[in-house]
């Protein structure tokens, strides 16, 4: 394989930062190209050095980096790589961020707070990015923060195809862990043809300090419940939602999420929970110490590779998900 994929006068070049090399190599394999050789190293004070070992002039450049911990370092590395491409005369630069860092702060909840999702978009635009590509953004409005095309990809088809062979759909309910994920859960329920339920967090006025109570709204008794979320961070919300479902008579609870952030104590919580299986994708790297028996990791590489191919060939990324979302 070559590090360049040529179509007519266009040439694709694929680059990767250091945060998740396994995913980058898998995407490259699906694309039929090799990762362009790149020198990336840290100076003694932690600053990052980047240099491409081949000419990138006139290329359609795709730069992949997963925003995992230490998240600030890997975001900065991707910004530096984009800047290097811009200064080396790449024709178009597409930033591929399977997980969009800082996406949870997409609006001001209170005064004097930042909107970091917008800041991220501005940083990549300033660095020289022409296009962004990400999977299951925390909120769809983030697409409007970047001054240019944003390809919003979905992991749902990958997760759903796996689930269809695992569960009895006639006895399954899709559940949103809170009201914020209801729209995502609705798409799941429509695709699987199942009922929808959600967990309503309300204040118990009869208890001191206004303790939150999880109230299940929907049909869950005697059924398998599939809890849906875009990410699992500390797993507190998911585990409490699972407990509430079992209290309301669910026979089984399965969790499906795109991004396995798994900040401590997520792994311990999930291992010790009543959840029977946790299904995630490999948008973020998972070291061995964060893997456990209940965990299933599905590859998102084919989705990313197809989206890159559609962009490179001036095709339709939207067509990949028509009928699914």
Question: Catalytic site residues?
Answer: 201
190 is an annotated ligand-binding site residue: no
46 is an annotated ligand-binding site residue: yes
Question: Which residues does 152 contact at the CB level (< 8 Å), separation at least 6?
Answer: 134, 135, 137, 140, 143
Q: Helix or strand or coil: residue 155?
A: coil
- Rounded distance, CA 75 to CA 323, Å? 33
- Rounded distance, CA 255 to CA 239, Å? 9
Q: Take residue 129 and report the two structure tokens written for it.
A: 């990015």
As a whole number of Å, the end-to-end CA separation of the chain is 34
- Rounded distance, CA 19 to CA 275, Å? 29
45 is an annotated ligand-binding site residue: yes
234 is an annotated ligand-binding site residue: yes
Question: Would you say 149 and 113 are in contact if contact means Cβ atoms under 8 Å apart?
Answer: no
- Rounded distance, CA 311 to CA 308, Å? 5
293 is an annotated ligand-binding site residue: no
229 is an annotated ligand-binding site residue: yes
322 is an annotated ligand-binding site residue: no
Number of other CB atoms surrounding residue 165 within 10 Å: 6
Question: Would you say 65 and 97 are in contact if contact means Cβ atoms under 8 Å apart?
Answer: yes
Residue 116, judged by CB atoms within 10 A of its CB (0-12, 13-18, 19+), counts as middle
Q: Helix or strand or coil: residue 20?
A: coil
* Residue 52 bridge partners (DSSP): 38
> In the chain, what's the furthest Cα-to-Cα distance?
71
171 is an annotated ligand-binding site residue: no
Locate the DSSP E strands across the chain: 4-7, 10-16, 38-42, 48-52, 60-64, 92-97, 131-135, 150-153, 172-176, 196-203, 212-217, 224-232, 252-260, 277-281, 295-298
47 is an annotated ligand-binding site residue: yes
138 is an annotated ligand-binding site residue: yes
Number of other CB atoms surrounding residue 262 within 10 Å: 27
Could you list the residues known to form a binding site for D-ribose 5-phosphate, using ranges.
Answer: 203, 229, 233-237
Could you list the residues known to form a binding site for ATP, using ranges.
Answer: 45-47, 104-105
């Amino acid at each position: 394989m070559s590090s360049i994929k040529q179509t007519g006068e266009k040439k694709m070049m694929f680059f990767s930062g250091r945060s998740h090399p396994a995913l980058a190599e898998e995407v490259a394999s699906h694309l039929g190209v090799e990762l362009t050789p790149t020198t990336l190293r840290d100076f003694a004070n932690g600053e990052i050095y980047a240099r491409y070992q081949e000419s990138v002039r006139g290329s359609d450049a795709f730069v992949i980096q997963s925003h995992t911990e230490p998240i600030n370092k890997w975001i900065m590395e991707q910004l530096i790589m984009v800047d290097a491409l811009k200064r080396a005369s790449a024709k178009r630069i597409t930033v591929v961020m399977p997980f969009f860092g800082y996406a949870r702060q997409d609006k001001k909840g209170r005064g004097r707070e930042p909107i970091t999702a917008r800041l991220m978009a501005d940083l990549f635009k300033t660095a020289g990015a022409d296009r962004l590509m990400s999977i299951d953004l925390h909120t769809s409005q983030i697409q409007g923060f970047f001054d240019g095309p944003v390809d919003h990809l979905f992991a749902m088809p990958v997760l759903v195809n796996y689930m269809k062979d695992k569960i009895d759909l006639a006895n399954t309910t899709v559940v949103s862990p809170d009201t914020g994920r209801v729209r995502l859960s609705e798409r799941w329920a429509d695709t699987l043809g199942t009922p929808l339920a959600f967990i309503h967090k309300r204040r118990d006025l009869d208890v001191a300090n206004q303790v939150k109570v999880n109230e299940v709204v929907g049909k869950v008794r005697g059924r398998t419940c599939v809890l849906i979320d875009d990410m699992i961070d500390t797993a507190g919300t998911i585990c409490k939602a699972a407990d509430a479902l079992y209290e309301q008579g669910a026979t089984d609870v399965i969790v499906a999420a795109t991004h396995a952030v798994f900040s401590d104590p997520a792994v311990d919580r999930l291992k010790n929970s009543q959840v029977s299986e946790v299904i995630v994708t490999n948008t973020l790297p998972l070291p061995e110490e964060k893997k456990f028996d209940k965990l299933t990791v599905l590859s998102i590489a084919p989705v990313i590779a197809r989206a890159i191919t559609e962009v490179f060939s001036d095709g339709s990324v939207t067509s990949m998900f028509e009928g699914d979302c």
